[in-house]
Amino acid sequence: NAGVTQTPKFRILKIGQSMTLQCTQDMNHNYMYWYRQDPGMGLKLIYYSVGAGITDKGEVPNGYNVSRSTTEDFPLRLELAAPSQTSVYFCASSGPGQAPMNTEAFFGQGTRLTVV
């Protein structure tokens, strides 16, 4: 059981470049999330999705886009990278999925992004 898989683990971007952070889960979870975590800080929700074809903004959506074409995948797109987007990005998913009472969130290992 792989859980939540994020790629890449590390990336350095130049200002103005674009990239997609990949996230996939194999637990048939309805909810998927993207968070950013700045050094020494908590989690800030960027976007989330309640199911395939449905996405919604979180606290800090500016500069990002998402799509949810399948239950498994929830990629995060940065169109014009800026130094303020230097952060660690976490993808997560939660149920109810196949286990209705098991509503805990599962996290990927994170992507450390630096924009220079």
- Residue 116 binds to another protein (criterion: CB under 8 A): no
* Interacting positions 49-78 with another protein (CB under 8 A): 50
Exposure of 72 in the CB half-sphere (CA atoms within 13 A):
5
Q: Which is nearer to another protein, 12 or 82 (CB)?
A: 12
Closest CA to 36 of 63, 4, 72, 67: 63
| C-alpha span between 45 and 108 (Å, rounded) | 15
Q: Which is nearer to another protein, 15 or 50 (CB)?
A: 50
- Residue 31 binds to another protein (criterion: CB under 8 A): yes
Interface residue with another protein, options 47, 48, 64, 74 (CB under 8 A): 48
Contact map string, positions 86 to 105, toward another protein, x by CB under 8 A: ----x-x-xxx----x-xxx
**Is the preceding peptide bond at 96 cis, omega within 30 degrees of 0?**
yes
